[in-house]
């Protein structure tokens, strides 16, 4: 249906029909995408990684698990996964957090990227929910702290997600280069959509 390469630090907005599968491919390895999705017919219904964790009682989501909306409806199902380590904390890098962590203004970030990707829906950054972050590796420590580590994903690794309703997906090729999230070196992602043909 489509095959798109997202350059480092850039973004993509796309529509998925129910039954279509979105494959996100890590082209060179150690690259994280952040994405959110919206009910195409009613964008007020949106991804909830919080519901996705609560309903399935899991921090780590992989093949067979579902991404739910804020209304408790299935939005996407993970149908294949060659990595198995993803982050569903409902966070993403953003201008405010980047400044507080790294002391720099005007950095590229996933919140801005996803806002630009979702512009066809007329949304602002306040409308962007917490993201699902394939390939992102976060280790929790016994004292309650956590640590971002370099992803385990290698060149050619992928995750497949099947749309369970008509969706609009806003995807950021994470631009973070100040922590190990992307191995300190953002690289391209490939997004392939296949499945039922449009009527």
pLDDT at 33: 98
On whether the CB atoms of residues 16 and 188 are closer than 8 A, the answer is no
Alpha-carbon distance of 49 to 61, in angstroms, equals 10
pLDDT at 198: 53
Residue with the larger pLDDT of the pair 135 and 199: 135
Alpha-carbon distance of 157 to 86, in angstroms, equals 13
Give the model confidence (pLDDT) of 80-138 as tens digits.
999 999 999 888 999 999 999 999 999 999 999 999 999 999 999 999 999 999 999 99
- Report the percentage of the chain scoring pLDDT > 90: 94
Measured in degrees and rounded to the nearest 5, phi and psi for residue 88 equal -125, 45
pLDDT at 199: 47
On whether the CB atoms of residues 10 and 113 are closer than 8 A, the answer is yes
Give the model confidence (pLDDT) of 40-68 as tens digits.
999 999 999 999 999 999 989 999 999 99
Sequence length of the chain is: 199
Measured torsion, CA atoms of residues 143, 145, 146, 147, in degrees rounded to the nearest 10: -100
Residue 76 clears pLDDT 60, i.e. is over it = yes
């Amino acid at each position: 249906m489509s095959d798109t390469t997202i350059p480092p630090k850039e973004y993509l907005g796309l529509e998925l029909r129910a039954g279509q599968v979105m494959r996100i491919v890590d082209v060179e390895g150690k690259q994280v995408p952040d994405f959110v999705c919206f009910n195409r017919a009613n964008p007020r219904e949106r991804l909830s990684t919080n519901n996705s964790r609560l309903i399935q009682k899991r921090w780590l989501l992989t093949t067979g698990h579902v991404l739910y909306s804020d209304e408790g409806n299935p939005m996407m199902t993970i149908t294949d996964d060659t990595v198995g380590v993803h982050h569903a904390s409902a966070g993403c890098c953003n201008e405010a957090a980047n400044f507080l962590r790294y002391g720099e203004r005007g950095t590229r970030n996933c919140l801005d990227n996803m806002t630009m990707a979702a512009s066809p829906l007329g949304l602002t950054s306040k409308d962007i929910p917490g993201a699902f972050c394939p390939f992102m590796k976060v280790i929790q420590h016994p004292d309650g702290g956590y640590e971002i580590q370099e992803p385990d994903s290698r060149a050619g690794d992928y995750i497949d997600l099947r749309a369970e309703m008509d969706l609009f997906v806003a995807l950021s090729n994470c631009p973070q280069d100040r922590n190990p999230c992307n191995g300190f070196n953002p690289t391209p992602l490939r997004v392939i959509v296949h499945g039922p043909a449009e009527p």
